[in-house]
Amino acid sequence: MQPDLFSTASQTDANAKPEEPDASNPPARAAWLRDELNRHNYAYHVLDNPSIPDAEYDKLFRELQALEAAHPELLVVDSPTQRVGALALSAFPQVTHSVPMLSLGNGFEDEDIIAFDRRVSEGLNITEVEYATELKFDGLAINLRYEDGVLVEAATRGDGATGENVTTNIRTVRAIPLRLHTKTPPKVLDVRGEVMMYKADLAKLNARQRDAGAKEFANPRNAAAGSLRQLDSRITAQRTLRFFAYGVGLLEGAEMPVSHSALLDWYAELGLPVCTERAVVKGAAGLLEFYKAVGQKRPGLPYEIDGVVYKVNSVEQQQQLGFVSRAPRYAIAHKFPAEEALTTVQGIEVQVGRTGAITPVARLAPVLVGGVTVTNATLHNEDEVRRKDIQIGDTVIVRRAGDVIPEVVAYVPEKRPADAQPFVMPTACPVCNSPIVKLEDEAIARCSGGWVKCAAQRKGGLLHFVSRRAMDVEGLGDQLVEQLVDKHIITTAADLYKLGFRALAELDRMADKSAQNVLAALEKSKSTTLARFIYALGIRHVGEATAKELARHFGNLEALLQASEEQLLEVADIGPVVAQSIRSFLSDPLNTELIEQLQAAGVRWPEHVVENKPKPFAGKTFVLTGTLPTLSRDQAAEKIEAAGGKVAGSVSKKTSYVVAGAEAGSKLAKAEELGIAILDESALLQLLETHEQN
Ligand code: IVH
């Protein structure tokens, strides 16, 4: 059924067409044209059921354009004429997501899913869990913010915390309503979903690209991403992008639906495109059945999917389960087997990683796997090459799964040539010639040169240091690092901050402007966080989550530098191997010197004084709602977290306090209903202060 509410319409009956006002009444005529166009848009792009011929649509569209040009006061932001795009002035501004955009854990085998279901049912202490099942679309995650029902901002996922503002481009996506189909919209609604391109639209786009002598897109995801990142949204407007909603961020001024399936039903009523290939099922058996059914349908679907997604249906149960790192415990993606192809191994070389790890890599005759040309595939380590018995000259099956590095699955025995050559692990590093060593209990052989001797390790370490989740130095990529190291311009990360304009501008493929940009990015990166800094150091076994934990636990660098192995073991999730790795890294004078140099270069972060006393808000969960008089939401959350508290997105029995500001909505009501303590900003500040004095 078609919703009965479109932009400015005041219809009461879905089927009753409002009377058509004529041109003598421009405001009424414009409103009528908008409603007509919106109705046809929705029928065409969301319901896939065109209601008028294209030529007729174009005629109405041009009439509205002319009317708005003659009467600019009639133009509204959600007019269908505003979907045509415009040239943006500069790059995309950053947007901080009110609620982080998470990613999903993956499972491939049935056992992974059975284990997931077991974890969930144990976590909830119930025998049979109800799940909402849906497709895993191969596109780009996006957040659409509707305020009072009007689309005001669209942002990419980015790193999950901040993304890019792509509102102008998103407006050109006809499947996305510029105004929700309801007379009673929530105050704020963050709709999450996937922007993608249908297979047929990609084929058409590629044909156009070919004709124009432009680059073709290897797969729908690249095409969608490339189209959304167009600075000229008039180009985006010419490419047919689609959208399916599958999640929610911030919701204010309306009750959160009780289940995921109810959320999606509500979305459909609001005029948002929701995929119909979804179900509500029970237990692992229900999940696997859905997987199988979708697997059979997959080739006939008009768009690419790379798996299915399972989510615990009850929102309350989702909250009970919570999150690990950047993925929720209540959901998992069940991926389809990766795509495979046959090719030949032309050689096996070894690569040296930033920790000296030696990885055998097969050089392959180029082959298209799932839309991407593959020329290299990892063989992981020497034992793996032996176990799989891969030889040079072999015909092999290569596989790639999503963004994962392609790998060699197996060789084809019948096709092995008589002169196939077995792989011989080198005894010396191909880059620095230091001996390659392999510890007894490790599968990985390593170059023993360390970063002092080995340029490959230096490059790897530097690339890690500047990477987005570490120091986030934009514009310093492989090729620059390669040249800087090969030309002996820099050795350590600290040298990066000594780089001058000339040295950079003279490198290959660098212009004055790009050199300036790199210097500016380096300068900007100096102001960081302790967690990022620890992660950037590239200590073995210290990933992002561990770095955050270390920063939280020790509060400042001094305390970390002085921590003994025993003290390190007190940090959540740190075991003997990691503790030992950290201690040995920090005991190396080369590393402590590097840290000093980085600080001397101006790398800094806000220090927290460590409390040996327990954090006052430890174990307490806060929910923020409404607008506080002086603190922004982020500032309030920061203060609460610094005191050891947690900030959650919605109110449940487990909430300790709700901090309410002006125009607090349903969360406040729920808190009152559940009898949860409610604080205003000053009460929160007072509470913090009282604890600080203790
Ligand atoms: S839910 C809380 N549902 O997969 C979980 N994601 O690995 C947030 N994706 O960034 C994501 N289809 O780009 C969800 N039905 C679906 C999805 C889906 C595709 C993508 C999305 C996300 C990534 C997570």
Same domain for 326 and 194: yes
Question: What CATH number is attached to the domain comprising 48?
Answer: 1.10.287.610
Pocket-testing residue among 97, 104, 221, 305, ligand 1, by greatest number of atoms within 8 A of Cβ: 104
Same domain for 535 and 469: no
C-alpha distances out from residue 500 to 335, 467, 492, 504, 624, Å: 47, 20, 15, 7, 46
Q: Atom 18 (ligand 1): residue with closest C-alpha?
A: 136
Is 407 touching ligand 1 by the criterion CB < 6 Å? no
Is 137 touching ligand 1 by the criterion CB < 6 Å? yes
Rounded (5°) CA angle 5-9-13: 55
Rounded to the nearest angstrom, the distance between the alpha carbon of 618 and the centre of ligand 1 is 31
Is 103 touching ligand 1 by the criterion CB < 6 Å? yes
Beta-carbon contacts of 142 under 8 Å, excluding residues fewer than 6 positions away, are: 154, 155, 156, 157, 166, 170, 192, 193, 194, 195, 228, 243
In 3D, which of 282, 327, 333, 287 has the Cα closest to residue 309? 333
Beta-carbon contacts of 535 under 8 Å, excluding residues fewer than 6 positions away, are: 469, 470, 542, 543, 544, 547, 548
Pocket-testing residue among 101, 136, 263, 650, ligand 1, by greatest number of atoms within 8 A of Cβ: 136
Same domain for 330 and 243: yes
Residue 257: its pLDDT value, please?
Answer: 97
Same domain for 41 and 129: no
Residue 609: its pLDDT value, please?
Answer: 53
In whole angstroms, what separates CA 534 from the centre of its chain? 22
Same domain for 347 and 331: no
Any domain includes 614: no
- 397: phi then psi, degrees, rounded to nearest 5: -95, 125
Any domain includes 77: yes
Q: Are 523 and 515 in contact (CB under 8 A)?
A: no
Rounded to the nearest angstrom, the distance between the alpha carbon of 397 and the centre of ligand 1 is 29
Question: What CATH number is attached to the domain comprising 263?
Answer: 3.30.470.30
Same domain for 474 and 568: no
Any domain includes 609: no
Any domain includes 353: yes
- Atom number in ligand 1 closest to CA 104: 7
Q: Which of 509, 525, 541 is the last residue of a domain?
A: 525
Rounded to the nearest angstrom, the distance between the alpha carbon of 295 and the centre of ligand 1 is 18
Same domain for 299 and 232: yes
Residue 690: its pLDDT value, please?
Answer: 72
Pocket-testing residue among 157, 197, 246, ligand 1, by greatest number of atoms within 8 A of Cβ: 246
Any domain includes 177: yes
Question: What CATH number is attached to the domain comprising 373?
Answer: 2.40.50.140
Residue 401: its pLDDT value, please?
Answer: 60
Q: How many domains does the chain have?
A: 6
Residue 607: its pLDDT value, please?
Answer: 77
Q: Atom 15 (ligand 1): residue with closest C-alpha?
A: 136
Query: Residue 343: which H helix or E strand, with range?
Result: strand 339-352
The structure tokens listed for 309 are 């997604």
Is 193 touching ligand 1 by the criterion CB < 6 Å? no
Same domain for 361 and 236: no
Residue 13: its pLDDT value, please?
Answer: 39
Any domain includes 445: no
- 152: phi then psi, degrees, rounded to nearest 5: -115, -25
Q: Which of 496, 525, 554 is the last residue of a domain?
A: 525
Question: What CATH number is attached to the domain comprising 550?
Answer: 1.10.150.20
Same domain for 265 and 179: yes
Any domain includes 442: no
Q: Mean pLDDT by 10-residue block, N- to C-terminus, for the chain (694 residues)? A: 39 53 91 91 77 80 90 86 64 88 90 96 96 95 97 92 91 94 96 95 86 77 87 84 97 97 97 97 97 91 93 97 86 87 94 92 90 87 90 91 75 92 95 90 86 93 94 92 94 94 91 93 95 95 89 93 94 87 94 95 81 70 86 83 82 88 83 87 83 54
Query: Residue 681: which H helix or E strand, with range?
Result: helix 681-693
Q: List the domain range (segments joined by +) for residue 459.
A: 450-525
Q: Which of 136, 311, 646, 667 is catalytic?
A: 136
Same domain for 216 and 147: yes
- Atom number in ligand 1 closest to CA 139: 13
Is 201 touching ligand 1 by the criterion CB < 6 Å? no
Same domain for 275 and 300: yes
Q: Atom 6 (ligand 1): residue with closest C-alpha?
A: 136
Any domain includes 467: yes
Active site annotation includes 613: no
Same domain for 235 and 112: yes
Is 134 touching ligand 1 by the criterion CB < 6 Å? yes
Is 102 touching ligand 1 by the criterion CB < 6 Å? yes
Residue 2: its pLDDT value, please?
Answer: 39
In 3D, which of 512, 509, 524 has the Cα closest to residue 474? 524
Is 2 touching ligand 1 by the criterion CB < 6 Å? no
End-to-end alpha carbon distance in the chain: 62
Residue 315: its pLDDT value, please?
Answer: 97
Q: Which of 335, 354, 377 is the last residue of a domain?
A: 335
